[in-house]
A and B are shown apart, each in its own frame.
Chain A
Amino acid sequence: MAKTILTVDDSASMRQMIKLTLTGAGYDVTEANDGTQGLATARGKAFDMVLTDLNMPGMDGVSMIKEIRKLATYTGVPIVMLTTESDAERKAQAKSAGATGWITKPFQPEQLLSVTKKVLGQ
C-alpha cells in the first residue's frame, strides 16, 4: 500500500512540485490549498503524513497543526512543515504546536524525499 500524504500549501506551483516529486516516488498525494481545507481533509481521512506550508491566508500552518494534533487519529502521525531560513520564530511555534520536522525553502526534490523517508521510516 502506498503511503498517503496530505500536502497543504497556498501556492499551486509549490503543490505541483511536491505532488510530482512524491507521486514519482510512489506516494499517494492529496492536495489542500489552505489551513481550513487542510484541516477538513485531515478530519475526513487519516493520512500517513502531513506536509504543510506555514504562511498561508485564512488558517495558517501553525493553527492547522495545533488543530490536527487534537484529532485522535493524528497522534503519532508525522507533520512536516515547510519553512524559511528567516522564519525561526514561526518554526518554533509550529514545533511546539506539534510539528515533527521541517524542510527549509528553497529545497531540492531530493531533500523533500529524504525527509519524507526519514519521518516515515523508509
Chain B
Amino acid sequence: MKTADPREIFQQEAQDLLVQLEQALLDLEHAPDDSALIDTAFRALHTIKGSGSMFGFEAVAAFTHHVETAFDKVRQGTIVPNRELIMVTLHARDHMRQLIEAPESADTAAGEAILAQLQRAMEGGAPQAAAAPAAAKVVVDATWRVRIRFPRDVMATGTNPLLLLDELRALGRATVTPLVDDIPPLDVIDPTACHIGWDIVLTTAQPSTAIEDVFLFVRDEMTLEVEAVDAVVPAARLGEILTERGDVTAGAVQAALEQQKPVGELLVKDGATSPDKVNAALAEQQHARREAAPAAPGAAAKANANSSVRVPAERLGELMDRVGELVIAQSRLRQIATTSADQQVKSVAEEIERLVLELRDTTMGIRMVPIGSLFGRFRRVVHDLSRDLGKEVALTMEGEETELDKTVIEQLNDPLVHLIRNAIDHGLEDPDGRAAAGKPQQGHIKLSARHAGMEVLITIEDDGRGMNRERIRERAEERGLIAKGATIGDSELLGMIFQPGFSTAAAVTSLSGRGVGMDVVKRTIEGLRGAINLSSTPGHGSEVTLRLPLTLAIIDGLLVRVGSGRYVLPLGSVEECVELSREEDARSRGRSFLNIRGDLVPYLRLRELFACKTPADPYQKVVIVSSGDLKVGLVVDQVIGDHQTVIKSLSKLHADVEMLSGATILGDGAVALILDIPHLVAFGQVREENQRAAG
C-alpha cells in the first residue's frame, strides 16, 4: 500500500470545497440573506486558503485571501452578495480550480483581472447594504399533539380518513401512530367500519385552526383534540410524555420506574395503559428528537454530516472484481453441495451463499452514489448557458437521491451536459419568442431520476418549442437517410437526430448545432447497456429519457439452454416464460409472430439464429423479453433457472457482435454468453416488419 501524498489529498479536498462553494454561490443568488449559505461559502474559502499555504499552494492561498476578505465582509453584513459579486466569485472559483489543478500553467493576468473586478463588485455592493434587506418574515414552527377518533360509520358517509391524514401530513412534518386497540377479533370485525384512531405529532408553521379545518366536515361527529406541545424537549422521558398526555398517572410511572425495566413495557403489564398509547408516546418522543436535531443549512452541510472515508476508485474496482470471483466460486460450491450427500457440506454451502450475496449487495452499495452529486454540476452549466444565450432558464431537479453505480454516473456527465445544452440552445425559445407563444418568459428545464426495477430512468424535459419534425424529415431526406416521401414511424423519425453529423439548426451557435454529439450521446448510453428515448410535442417541449442499468458489474440473469450452449438473459428484461405447445409451434412455422394469450409477439428462434445442429427439445420454451415498450419472444430449448452473473466483457475481437453483451463463468466452470436484449428486440421487430412488408 502506498502512502498518499498530502498534496494530492489537499487537491481532492479542495475540489469538494470548490463544489460546496459553487453550490452555495448559486443558492445565494436566490437567497442573498441566507446566513447559512454565506457561512458555507466563507468556510470553504477559509479552508482552501489555510490548507493551501500549508501544502505549498501559495498562489492559491494568496488569491483566495482576497476572495475570503470579500466574503468576510458579506458575513459581517457590510456588503450584500449581489449578482455581480456572485458572478465574480464564481469566476474566482474557476480560477482557484486552475491554480489547484495545474499551479504552473495558471494565468496570473486573468487572476489579477478577477481581483480587480472583485474590488469593483465590493464597492458596488456597499451602498445597497444601506437599503438593508427587509426583515425576513419569521415563521415559527409549533408542535401539536393531535388525537383523532372518527365515528364508526365515517367511511360509509363518504369520508376517507386516510385522505384526511394525508391532508394533515401536508401541513408540516408529522409522525402518525395508529391506535389499534379497538379493532375487534377477525370473526366479528365489520370491515366497513372505522375501528382505528390516530395520534399524530405535527410540527407545522400553520396555526391550529388549519388543523381543525382539515376535519371541517366531520368535526361535529368526531373527537378531535389539538394540544400544543410546549417545547420540544428532545430528552423528555417516556413516562413524562405519557403523564403529560394524560394516559398514565404520575404515580404509576414512579412505581414502574422503580422496577428498572423499560417503562412502557411495565406500564402495560401493570394495566396502567395500553400498548397503543405507549407506542404513540414513543413516536412523539422520536418526533421530538428529530425536530430537535439541528436543521441542516443547505445540501452541502448535509453532505458534511455523513462522515465518510475516501477510497481510490481503482481499489473499489478491485474489491468488486474479487467479489465477482467469489460469486462465481460460490456458485460452483453450490453445485457441488447439491449433489453431495454430506449434510455438513450442504449447510456450510448455504451459509456461504447467504454471506456472499450479502457481501455482493454491500459491495455494490459502496459503489452506489446518489445522482444528486452529478445533477448538482448542471446548475452551473444552466446558469452559464442561460447567461451566454440570453435566455432565462429555471432548472428543477427531482429524485437526486436516486442511487446509481459510480462508474455509470461518471460516464453520464458528458451526455447529460450535451442534452441540457441542446434543450436550452435548441429547445427553449428566446424571451421574445416565449412571450409570443404565450409562455412565461422563463424557460423551464427539469432533470429527474427514478428507479424502475433494475433500471434507473433519467429524464430531461424542457418546455420549449419541441422538435421540428418537418425539418428533421427534410434533413434526413437531403442526407439520403430516408427515401423521399417514405412513411416512417414517429420515434424512428425523431431518432434520426442520433445519426452522425445530423443537425437541423439553421445557424451554428458556438455551443451546438454542429451535429456532433447526439450520436456520441447515444453511443455512450448504449455502451453503458442503456437506451435512449425521445418524445416531443410541437410548441410544448421535448423529453429525453435515458434508461440505465443500476450497475455494470453484476446482473441477475435467467440461464437458458439453446442446443448445447448456455446463455444468460438479464432478469430485468424478462417478462415471462411460456411453454410453446406443439400446435402453436407448428402453426407458427413460417410466420413472424407467436400468439401469446391473444397478444401477437414477434419471435426469434435462437436455434436458427445460432445455427444449432443438435436435435431440438420436444418441448420448446418461449422467454418473452422486453426493451422499452417493445417485446420479443425468444424460443429456447430449456429454461434452467436464475443465475447470478458477473459480467466479463468480450474481447476486442468480439466487440462488434451485436447480439451479445458479455460473457460469464458458470458454476461448473463453463462459459455462458450474455444476450444483448435491446439489440435482439430491435432485430426481432425489424425482421417482423420486413417479413410483413414482404408478405
8 Å CB interface, B139-197 against A? 155-160, 162-163, 166-167, 192
Inter-subunit contact B167/A78 (CB<8 Å): no
Inter-subunit contact B216/A101 (CB<8 Å): yes
- Complex CA gap A121/B170 in Å reads 12
Contact with B along A84-104 (1 / 0, CB 8 A): 000000000001001111100
Which residues from B are CB-within-8-Å of A121?
A: 160, 162-163, 166
- B656 near A: Cβ within 8 Å? no
- Complex CA gap A19/B202 in Å reads 37
Contact with B along A14-30 (1 / 0, CB 8 A): 00000000000000000
Name the interface size band of chain A.
10 to 19
Which residues from A are CB-within-8-Å of B216?
A: 101
Inter-subunit contact A79/B158 (CB<8 Å): yes
Name the interface size band of chain B.
10 to 19
- B217 near A: Cβ within 8 Å? yes
Q: Which of A3-11, A38-46, A52-60, A69-77 contacts B (4 or more CB under 8 A)?
A: A69-77
Which residues from B are CB-within-8-Å of A77?
A: 158
For A77, give the chain B residue with the smallest CB separation: B158
Inter-subunit contact A99/B157 (CB<8 Å): yes
- B258 near A: Cβ within 8 Å? no
Which residues from B are CB-within-8-Å of A98?
A: 156-158
For A99, give the chain B residue with the smallest CB separation: B157
A-B residue pair count with CB separations less than 8 angstroms: 41
For B167, give the chain A residue with the smallest CB separation: A118
For B156, give the chain A residue with the smallest CB separation: A75
- B220 near A: Cβ within 8 Å? yes
- Complex CA gap A78/B167 in Å reads 16
- Complex CA gap A62/B361 in Å reads 61
Which residues from B are CB-within-8-Å of A95?
A: 220-221
Inter-subunit contact A69/B166 (CB<8 Å): no
- A119 near B: Cβ within 8 Å? yes
For B217, give the chain A residue with the smallest CB separation: A101
Inter-subunit contact A76/B155 (CB<8 Å): yes
Q: How far is the CB of A122 from chain B (nearest CB, A)?
A: 9
Contact of A119 among B156, B158, B221 (CB under 8 A): B158
- Complex CA gap A77/B156 in Å reads 8
Inter-subunit contact B159/A100 (CB<8 Å): yes
Instruction: Evaluate whether A100 and B157 lie within 8 angstroms (CB atoms) in the complex, with A75-B192, A95-B220 already known.
Output: yes
Listed residue (B157, B159, B160, B167) with the most chain A CB atoms within 10 angstroms of its CB: B157
Q: How far is the CB of B150 from chain A (nearest CB, A)?
A: 13
- Complex CA gap A118/B213 in Å reads 11
Which residues from A are CB-within-8-Å of B192?
A: 75-76
- Complex CA gap A99/B216 in Å reads 13
Q: How far is the CB of A105 from chain B (nearest CB, A)?
A: 16
Which residues from A are CB-within-8-Å of B220?
A: 95
- Complex CA gap A43/B166 in Å reads 31
- Complex CA gap A102/B217 in Å reads 7
Which residues from A are CB-within-8-Å of B166?
A: 121
- Complex CA gap A118/B158 in Å reads 11
Contact with B along A111-122 (1 / 0, CB 8 A): 000000011010
Q: How far is the CB of B371 from chain A (nearest CB, A)?
A: 30
Q: How far is the CB of B167 from chain A (nearest CB, A)?
A: 7
Inter-subunit contact B156/A78 (CB<8 Å): no
- Complex CA gap A78/B157 in Å reads 7
Q: How far is the CB of A21 from chain B (nearest CB, A)?
A: 20
8 Å CB interface, B325-360 against A? none
Inter-subunit contact A76/B163 (CB<8 Å): no
Which residues from A are CB-within-8-Å of B157?
A: 69, 79, 98-100
Contact with A along B454-484 (1 / 0, CB 8 A): 0000000000000000000000000000000
Which residues from B are CB-within-8-Å of A118?
A: 163, 167
Q: How far is the CB of A20 from chain B (nearest CB, A)?
A: 22
Name A's B-contacting residues (CB within 8 A): 69, 75-79, 95, 98-102, 118-119, 121
Complex A-B, nearest 9 residue pairs according to Cβ-Cβ distance, in ascending order:
A100-B158, A101-B217, A78-B158, A121-B163, A98-B157, A75-B156, A76-B155, A77-B158, A100-B159
Name B's A-contacting residues (CB within 8 A): 155-160, 162-163, 166-167, 192, 216-217, 220-221
